[in-house]
A = this chain, B = another copy of it.
Amino acid sequence: MKYQSIDEANRAVLDKIVGSAPFLTDVVPAKSVIKELEEKVILHAGPPIKWDDMTGPMQGSCVGATLFEGWAQTEDEAKQMLANGEVEFMPCHHVNAVGPMGGITTGNMPVFVVENRSEDNQAYCIMNEGIGKVLRFGAYSKEVIDRLHWMKDVLGPTLSKALQKTEAGLNINVMVAKAITMGDEFHQRNIAASLIFLKEVAPLIVQVDMDENDRKDVMQFLADTDQFFLNIMMATGKAVLDGARKIQEGTVVTAMCRNGKDFGIRISGMGDEWFTAPVNTPQGLFFTGYTQEDANSDIGDSAITETFGVGGFAMIAAPGVTRFVGAGGFDDALSTSNEMMEICIDQNPNFTVPTWDFNGICLGIDARKVVETGIEPVINTGIAHKEPGVGQIGAGTVRAPLACFEKAIEAYAQKLGLI
């Protein structure tokens, strides 16, 4: 390889992460930037998976997307269509995208466009629908589909027009740097970043030429949706890490994702290849009426936030989230972040954490360190009901399975001719 050592290659990958320049530039229909979505294609979270292997919430989301796109008129019709191969499935990650929970994305859903200006690449993610019955957790009732149509017809176009009033889009690094000082970890807690986003767009939205009731609805939705920034953070993590993995050497983890059946990772030295192992099931706290027994197995592309160095890795930045995910108090948050530093290479000076005595967030999971220490990456996650149609039932933490990292290191060692 062109580097003197794996450490040197890893440093080059990290330099691209630290030097990244992600900007939120637009909100557009997914099919306008992902050509594959002009056909009957559904994007899903995690590594590749077939319809029969999908868990309840992902299947439920597919039903919802099929109804939303008008490909089917009834739930039964949709299920038949999905089961008999009329719709093609494809991982979000294969088309510069990421998706939360089921990750289900189709052509007419609006997506955030995040441009990474240091590497001239883009990434996409659908918008956050709020809480309760939502598509990403597998719900597909009329309320869910109606909201998706409103997001397509009103919310997306409004944000697009608002963003066009900026000179260069919104500088995401600035928003993240502010919000990490305000107790967000950007996976289960995005309340500060969502408010910072609102502060940026509210003065623009009042300048958009639009229906006054729609304007009020948009402003209210953004004011109410505490997790709105999560999906911007996901697209950012994807854009930054895809930029960094242009360097195809080293052992830096460049993606972690789950399809409900398999956990998949990529490392810089192995390009697009997935290394998978069966997912675990999150442990956490449940909304009233639900228990651990109702929990679906681990699912979603949102672990791109941990890959970037936030989420569970930044637990210490967000002691407010620990009680939401059942991860103890302040000392437990500190222990978690300190433990994650044992499998990371450095700390990112762009995003310093006051509660960590102003140290930077974790930078670069080294798959070698995961294997050597046996410390599995921790992920803060929402918990879906295992049956389709129910939605979110809690939040908690889950670990990435060690086997993914062992397989990746073995493959890279073979590629380098070391074994």
**Which residues of A line the B interface, CB within 8 A?**
178, 181-183, 191-192, 195-196, 198-200, 202-203, 205-207, 212, 215-216, 219-220, 223, 319-320, 322-323, 329-331, 354-358
Among B178, B195, B323, point to the contact of A199 (Cβ < 8 A). Answer: B195
CA of A207 to CA of B206, assembled, Å: 11
Chain B hits for A216, CB < 8 A? 203, 206-207
Is the beta-carbon distance between B355 and A329 smaller than 8 angstroms?
no
Is the beta-carbon distance between A320 and B202 smaller than 8 angstroms?
no
Among B191, B192, B206, B357, point to the contact of A331 (Cβ < 8 A). Answer: B357
Chain B hits for A206, CB < 8 A? 205-206, 212, 215-216, 219
CA of A323 to CA of B322, assembled, Å: 25
CA of A59 to CA of B356, assembled, Å: 43
Is the beta-carbon distance between B195 and A223 smaller than 8 angstroms?
no
Is the beta-carbon distance between B358 and A355 smaller than 8 angstroms?
no
Chain B hits for A207, CB < 8 A? 212, 216
Question: How far in angstroms is the closest Cβ of chain B from A409?
Answer: 36
CA of A198 to CA of B201, assembled, Å: 12
Chain B hits for A330, CB < 8 A? 354-358
Between-chain CB contacts (< 8 Å), 14 pairs: A178-B191, A181-B183, A182-B191, A192-B192, A195-B198, A202-B223, A203-B220, A203-B223, A206-B212, A206-B215, A207-B216, A320-B354, A330-B357, A331-B357
Question: How far in angstroms is the closest Cβ of chain B from A261?
Answer: 35
CA of A200 to CA of B331, assembled, Å: 33
Known: A199-B195, A355-B330, A358-B329. A320 touches B181 (CB 8 A): yes
Is the beta-carbon distance between A202 and B198 smaller than 8 angstroms?
yes
Chain B hits for A320, CB < 8 A? 181-182, 354
CA of A193 to CA of B95, assembled, Å: 39
Chain B hits for A202, CB < 8 A? 198, 202, 219, 223
Question: How far in angstroms is the closest Cβ of chain B from A164?
Answer: 16
Chain B hits for A354, CB < 8 A? 183, 319-320, 322, 330
CA of A202 to CA of B221, assembled, Å: 11
CA of A219 to CA of B207, assembled, Å: 10
CA of A356 to CA of B330, assembled, Å: 7
CA of A331 to CA of B329, assembled, Å: 17
Listed from nearest, the 5 A-B pairs whose CB atoms lie closest are: A319-B354, A195-B195, A181-B320, A203-B220, A203-B219
Chain B hits for A322, CB < 8 A? 354
CA of A183 to CA of B355, assembled, Å: 10
Which residue on chain B has the smallest CB distance to residue A215?
Answer: B206
CA of A196 to CA of B354, assembled, Å: 21
Which residue on chain B has the smallest CB distance to residue A217?
Answer: B203
Which residue on chain B has the smallest CB distance to residue A200?
Answer: B223
Is the beta-carbon distance between A355 and B203 smaller than 8 angstroms?
no
Chain B hits for A331, CB < 8 A? 357
Which residue on chain B has the smallest CB distance to residue A179?
Answer: B182
Chain B hits for A192, CB < 8 A? 182, 192, 195
Question: How far in angstroms is the closest Cβ of chain B from A154?
Answer: 14
Question: How far in angstroms is the closest Cβ of chain B from A242?
Answer: 31
New contact pairs (10) apart from A198-B199, A203-B220, CB-CB < 8 Å:
A182-B320, A183-B183, A195-B198, A200-B223, A202-B202, A203-B219, A206-B206, A206-B212, A207-B216, A330-B358
CA of A357 to CA of B178, assembled, Å: 22
Which residue on chain B has the smallest CB distance to residue A183?
Answer: B182
Among B199, B215, B223, B355, point to the contact of A355 (Cβ < 8 A). Answer: B355
CA of A196 to CA of B191, assembled, Å: 10
CA of A191 to CA of B355, assembled, Å: 17
CA of A181 to CA of B320, assembled, Å: 6
